[in-house]
Amino acid sequence: MLESVIGLEIHLQLKTKTKMFCGCATHDSAVTPNQNVCPVCTGQPGSLPVPNEQAIRFGIRMGLALHCRIAEASKFDRKNYFYPDLPKGYQISQYDQPIASDGFLTLGEKRIGITRAHLEEDAAKNLHGADGKTYVDFNRAGTPLLEIVTEPDFASPQDAKAFMQELRLIARYLGVSDADMEKGHMRCDANISLRERDAQGGIVGMELHPKTEVKNINSFRNVERALQHEIKRQTELWNAGSPPSVSTTRGWDDATQTTKEQRDKEGEGDYRYFPEPDIPVLALTDMAERERSRMPELPAAKRARFADEYGLRAEDARQICDDPALADFTENVFSELQAWLESQTDLDAEGAIAERRRLANLVSGWLLSKLGGLMAERTIDIRTCKINPENFAEFITLIASRKLNSSAGLVVLGTMLDDGSDPSHIMEDKRLGAIEDEGAIAEIIERVIENNADMVERYRGGKTELLQVLIGQAMKESEGTVDAKIARNMLLVRLENA
């Protein structure tokens, strides 16, 4: 049986204000080509690179999040090759002393080894003009990148995609990168080979076969697709008795959804790596300790805590923690709800746990599906949403104590979203509180019976499915303020007793 062996190389653009080795602003702020350039990032003779301290801190932070060892001494090297978008004729990168190495990231039950993470500068960008000429835009030249290399520990394209998504989330939690693949803040090359296992699970032949490197993967979806395509292509080669015998490089072609062979991969020797003589060795121990003490809570820890502390379902906790701003909002909501939970003094220990769980489910239901839906309709998100955590928590207590039913709740939530007002005021304004007075509900039911005499007659004649329509009428009559269950029961009593 064939199995796939996959490793990833990810380039993460660090969110610094200036470039890796000069004071130019990074290219995201540039409006016109060759706007953010200077002698250093255009490789003028005699110019000297000065490493960006913030980029080094960001690299260390990411290394710590990936459980890496941070180098006590780290240095920069020149990686030599010739290409029009590389003004110096070499790229400043890190060869044998990267800032971080030997780490891992757990994905559920799986542990993915991190070989290394090193700093380097991005190249410029070639622009192919309509006039048939190629132009070079140096705005991107010198942008700080962190290259993260994994062990070949992925057994499936899905795992590779899940890893990329977790990496993006970690980068966002740490504030080191926006990690937006569509904007090129995160780029991925994937290495893949196949190998054979016998029926007992033993590896047949070589453990690792010559690999194919797939370049230019520009979205999470394409990470999965490109690898699926390669597995299919290589499986056919294996089945034909001619598995890949040398390492090759292929590019992902979005238009045809296939990979195409590119130039043969240069060996390390071709790059003639040597130490960058203009930058001293970096002593990182103190900086690493400072960064370690400043590390925020990471997504995996936050998800576990949200489930444990607040009683959220694992899947809800995951969805909430996928957005750092939503996670902060939720945290504040639960801290507001704590007082309300503590006021429920008539509950025993078991009842308190059940109540906490009920509240957690109300929060996730109203936050993710209902508020999430309303925000999606208005193309806003939690950052631009006018509802503050205090008001949302108050809203949840109104629902939890059944002072507000769900259809009236939706109206209140919509108004809160419009103007940021608090739910109690909206309920008073719109008279949306649940009608608890049975006399008042009875009056509404009476009006429904009177206004729908025809339907009532047909119901009594055996068309019992009309009950739903009549309940609907009662909800409409009360503008959603009666409890549907109570309306149903009272309607049944009235309909059965003419």
Which chain residues interact with Zn ion by CB under 5 A? 22, 24, 38, 40-41
Beta carbon nearer to Zn ion, 22 or 112: 22
| Nearest Cα residue to 404 out of 387, 374, 425 | 425
Distance CA 490, CA 429 (A): 27
Beta carbon nearer to Zn ion, 22 or 214: 22
Closest contact distance (angstroms) between CB of 24 and Zn ion is 3
Closest contact distance (angstroms) between CB of 38 and Zn ion is 3
Distance CA 142, CA 124 (A): 8
Beta carbon nearer to Zn ion, 24 or 68: 24
Residue 255: how many CB atoms within 10 A of its CB?
5
272: its two tokens: 């003639």
Beta carbon nearer to Zn ion, 37 or 456: 37
Residue 39: how many CB atoms within 10 A of its CB?
12
Beta carbon nearer to Zn ion, 54 or 235: 54
Closest contact distance (angstroms) between CB of 317 and Zn ion is 43
Distance CA 301, CA 305 (A): 6
Residue 443: how many CB atoms within 10 A of its CB?
14
Is the distance from CB of 278 to CB of 49 less than 8 angstroms? yes
Closest contact distance (angstroms) between CB of 13 and Zn ion is 16
Beta carbon nearer to Zn ion, 44 or 126: 44
Closest contact distance (angstroms) between CB of 85 and Zn ion is 15
Is the distance from CB of 210 to CB of 246 less than 8 angstroms? yes
Beta carbon nearer to Zn ion, 279 or 352: 279
Beta carbon nearer to Zn ion, 44 or 464: 44
Residue 146: how many CB atoms within 10 A of its CB?
26
Beta carbon nearer to Zn ion, 21 or 220: 21
Beta carbon nearer to Zn ion, 90 or 173: 90
CA 253 to chain centre: 25
Beta carbon nearer to Zn ion, 45 or 462: 45
Closest contact distance (angstroms) between CB of 197 and Zn ion is 51
Closest contact distance (angstroms) between CB of 78 and Zn ion is 18
Closest contact distance (angstroms) between CB of 139 and Zn ion is 10
Closest contact distance (angstroms) between CB of 28 and Zn ion is 14
Closest contact distance (angstroms) between CB of 316 and Zn ion is 46
Closest contact distance (angstroms) between CB of 75 and Zn ion is 22
